Amino acid sequence: MKRDLFIHLGAIALLFLLEILGIFSDYHQGNFARILVLTVYGIGYNVLFGYTGLLSLGHALFFSAGLYAAGLSIYHLDYNVGQALILAFCFSVLVSLVIGYLALRTVGVSFMIVTLMFSQIAYLCILYFGGITRGDEGIVIQQSSRVFLSLDLSDPTIRYYSALTVFSFCLVFNLWIARSSFGRVLIAIRENSDRALMLGYNVQLYKLLAVIISGTISGIAGASYGILFGYVGASFAAVPYSIFPLLWVLLGGAGTVLGPLIGAIFMFYLIDYASDVTDAYMIIVGIALLLVTLFARRGLLGELRYRFFPWIP
């Protein structure tokens, strides 16, 4: 347990030192601030898919729930950042509870389809109520509204440390889940839900709790993204934003704590550098993803755990 904590706190310390020592250029500082927030989204997805074995194709619903709860409350109600974050947290819990209760009436492929349908409903509602949400155009949160405890969150350095703070709390929480009895029950459900039920565990309750935790973390990521980067748009509720966290988790290693971070970094810079080479950059991205899938089927960190370091959580 101490070794696990040391490694993950070391990863947080490394990300802190990269900034404080001035190793990041302005470009990479902005990229990593975005990556850290999106990794929180991946962490939320990993709780549901990596640990519980529930494949969701509609996780953009939870991300956009937090995003719009925070963004609309600031834009229309003049909430400050603290109030907006509290509202986004509560709304994310509520949405996760309702969607989890309804979606968990299904299993397997049906669960995937139902989550996708709920996500599409949310996306269409955002477009339909464009008078409030501004639809595809989206909402720009003014710099004057992005101040928390006298800190200007639009400042690149403060934005990076804010993203790192959110990421750090969620990473440590994910580590706790991975090493707790609750997390072990989730893994047991992932491996064989019938056996877990036979052992006396309330499988449906644990799955519902997993959905709530996953959706809430994803909602926190959405709220953080909107506040730190000052934009709320319908594209974040579309299908691609349900696929992205799945790719990050698969690339990094499903069921590993640091997997979403590794997957998000890999995917972000793969697209970034490939787009500099050619306009058809998705061909390069697709080939790279195919190679990783063929030769590291458990993901980058997952493969290291399987082959060399079985103690990695």
Tens of pLDDT, residues 172-190: 999 999 999 999 999 999 9
Q: For residue range 123-176, what is the model confidence (pLDDT) as tens digits?
A: 999 999 988 999 888 899 998 889 998 899 999 999 999 999 999 999 999 999
In this structure, is residue 308 part of a structural domain?
A: no
Q: Per-residue confidence at 3, pLDDT binned at 50, 70, 90?
A: confident
66 close to 222: Cβ distance less than 8 angstroms: yes
pTM above 0.85, yes or no: yes
Evaluate whether residue 311 is within a structural domain.
no
Give me the domain span that covers residue 133: 2-238
CA-to-CA separations, 165 to 12, 16, 91, 111, 276, in angstroms, rounded: 9, 10, 21, 33, 31
Mean pLDDT of the chain: 91
Q: Taking residues 272-282, what's their average pLDDT?
A: 83
Q: Is 286 inside any structural domain?
A: no
Cα→Cα distances 177→14, 50, 203, 289, Å: 23, 12, 17, 29
Q: Is residue 300 situated within a structural domain?
A: no
In a domain, 294, yes or no: no
What's the number of domains the chain is made of? 1
Q: Is the residue at 218 inside a domain?
A: yes
Identify whether 101 is part of a domain: yes
312 pLDDT more than 90: no
